[in-house]
Amino acid sequence: MTSLTIRHVTTYRYRHPVAFGEHRMMLRPRESHDQRVIEASLDINPAPSSLRYEQDDFGNHVAIAEFAGVATELTFASVVYLEHSPARAAHPGPDDSAALFPVDYADETADLAHCIHRHDIGPDDPVAQWARRFLPAGGQIPALDLLMRLSQGIHDAFVYRRREAKGVQTPLETLELGHGSCRDFALLMIDAARSLGLAARFASGYLATMPNVAPTEAHGATHAWAQVYLPGTGWIDFDPTSGNVGKASLVTVAVVRDPEQALPLHGTFVGSRADTLGMEVHVSVTPHAAETN
């Protein structure tokens, strides 16, 4: 078990005082068997006139702030202390219905339909054609092996490029460009998995560990990856950016059907576009060894 302190600070700056509309934040990690929030704080400056908390349809924590008055700067500072104890990645047993592809969801199909249905499928469906490259020429393949091939295939074939701009490339754009961010890779894997009849969803949060960083050193990065559902096992995390399987290096904040439903911070202001000076985001994740029973 490891305890982590996650600091996520976002600052907007404006040339002239502007008024602020509603802002929605998804910054608090989800509670689950493998991560538990011990303490969380959210400091907003200038202070909002109202701040309320709710959970969306997916069970994600959402903070909603409303403002009065004007200012030239708006800062959101989230600090979360949590315990992180991910188990090893789950593997379906030999008797599980998910052990072999194609997967039969049986009575679960209706509940998972929103994570199987695809949007904007082109006439030639190049994503499906690309995904079928990972199927063996003959015979069956374990579903987990297929998904690991798919995740590793994205990791090996595409160039990672960090992108601060909002939005996510479409899976077809990522295929054509040959590069993308973690959000783009996650969406490509999700769409490819859905093209094979598998239930997949988008997950976002933070990297709990990073390569080449000592376990006691601070680092900082938001992250996005894919989750795929296999009967008898549940949702399994696949990170095509690294090629890893499981949650050993991931802290989950949100799980949603589509990426636009998992924006860490979204809001509006009343003023001229020319008033915008920019946005700064700083994330730090500091791990500390925790006592284990």
Q: Which amino acid is at 261?
A: Q
pLDDT at 213: 55
Mean pLDDT of the chain: 90
The pTM for the full model equals 0.91
Is pLDDT at 196 greater than 70 in this prediction? yes
Q: Give the pLDDT confidence of 235-269 residue by residue, as tens digits.
A: 999 999 999 999 989 999 999 999 999 999 999 99
Q: Rounded mean pLDDT of 211-231?
A: 78
pLDDT at 220: 77
Is pLDDT at 97 greater than 80 in this prediction? no
The answer to whether residues 71 and 16 touch, using CB atoms and an 8 Å cutoff, is: no
pLDDT at 26: 98
Pick the range with the lowest mean pLDDT from 52-56, 83-87, 257-261: 83-87
On whether the 100-262 domain is CATH 3.20.20.70, my answer is no
pLDDT at 293: 39
Residue 210 binned pLDDT confidence (cut-offs 50, 70, 90):
low
pLDDT at 209: 76
User: What angle is formed at CA 60 by the lines to CA 46 and CA 82, rounded to 5 degrees?
Assistant: 75
Is pLDDT at 122 greater than 80 in this prediction? no
| Residue 112, φ and ψ in degrees, nearest 5 | -100, 0
In the chain, which residues fall in CATH 2.60.40.2250? Answer: 2-85+263-289
Residue 291 binned pLDDT confidence (cut-offs 50, 70, 90):
very low
Q: Give the pLDDT confidence of 130-185 residue by residue, as tens digits.
A: 999 999 987 789 999 999 999 999 999 999 998 766 789 999 999 999 999 999 99
Q: Rounded mean pLDDT of 263-282?
A: 94
Distance CA 284, CA 77 (A): 12
pLDDT at 290: 44
Q: Give the pLDDT confidence of 62-78 residue by residue, as tens digits.
A: 999 999 999 999 999 99
Percent of the chain past pLDDT 90, that is, above it, reads 74
Is pLDDT at 127 greater than 70 in this prediction? yes
Is pLDDT at 18 greater than 60 in this prediction? yes
- Domain 2-85+263-289 fold is Immunoglobulin-like (2.60.40)
Provide the b/e sequence for 43-82 (b: ≥16 CB within 10 Å). ebeeebeeeeeeeeeeebbebebebeeebeebebbbbbeb
In the chain, which residues fall in CATH 3.10.620.30? Answer: 100-262
Distance CA 88, CA 99 (A): 18
